[in-house]
Amino acid sequence: MWGAIIGDIVGSRFEWDRIKTKEFDLLGPGCEYTDDSVCTAAVAWALLDELPVAATVQTWCRRHPGRGYGGMFAHWIDSPNPAPYGSFGNGAAMRVSPAAYLNRHRPLDDALRAADRVTEVTHDHPEGMKGARATAHAIWLAYAGTPPSQIRRTIECTYRYDLSRSVDQIRPGYGFDETCQKTVPEAITSALESISFDDAIRNAISLGGDSDTLAATAGPIAEALHGVPGGLIDTARRRYLAEAPDIVDAIGRMYARSVNL
């Protein structure tokens, strides 16, 4: 989804140069697509064509080397026999949005099963599975027109995440963290508290954490709530994805397919 891709691109330049403010240019020098975009496109491709998830993700990641893959995941990419490795990293959440989008007009259980399918190939730890499910659930609810306050309550009750703090309350004590446990609640809060797509991305990045993944996780929820400005999509496609037409193609195919899982 464009929400995830743009969140990733905007957050990329702040991953190792973290900030604690919402005052910054969304797109500029230093921005690029990272593993978050590659994996999101790979998941979309696998679900669209009902392909084996592990093999499809490996193929896409090998086609886009050097995009910031984590150590264990990088080893998995190159493995001749890829197996899940008990991860609860936030990579489970940043790539799951196609599972929710492609099932947004179907029962929630269909979206959650799709989320499980694309997550269990790597992040099969209970916290990894939960992080992906919670993200997909929030996206699905947002597309269903559920108010942010009700989405918050549902996610808190279903997944036992603490969503009681505001972005301003989270920011001072928050730092870099690559786990679902310390990324998914914060990303969901960033989206639910937002007044626009741009504001959600700024919320997520201003926390000063794993910025590209926070924004790539908040972005699809914000997209479902607010939509994505066409100018951001055009800039992302033209300036940052010119050398990645396969990612643009995967996202385009996903939007063209309303429901087919």
Give CA–CA dist 183/93, Å, rounded. 9
pLDDT in tens, 19-63: 999 999 999 999 999 999 999 999 999 999 999 999 999 999 999
Element (H, E) at 203: helix 197-206
pLDDT at residue 207 tops 70 = yes
d(CA 191, CA 224) in angstroms, rounded, equals 10
User: Does 114 have pLDDT greater than 80?
Assistant: yes
pLDDT exceeds cutoff 70 at 259: no
Classified as helix, coil or strand, 47 is helix
Please report the pLDDT score of residue 251 as a whole number: 96
Across residues 144-150, what is the average pLDDT? Answer: 98
Set out the domains of the chain in order of their start, with CATH numbers. Answer: 2-14+30-256 (1.10.4080.10)
d(CA 249, CA 261): 19
Mean per-residue pLDDT, 123-128:
98
Distance, in Å, from the CA atom of 168 to the CA atom of 187, rounded to the nearest integer, reads 13
Q: Which of the four pLDDT bands, split at 50, 70 and 90, describes residue 258?
A: low
Distance between CA atoms of 177 and 172, rounded to whole angstroms?
14
Report residue 214's pLDDT band, with 50, 70 and 90 as the boundaries.
Answer: very high
Q: Is the pLDDT of residue 218 over 50?
A: yes
Predicted local distance difference test score (pLDDT) of residue 143 = 98
Q: How confident is the model at residue 118 (pLDDT cuts 50, 70, 90)?
A: very high
Average pLDDT over residues 80-87: 97
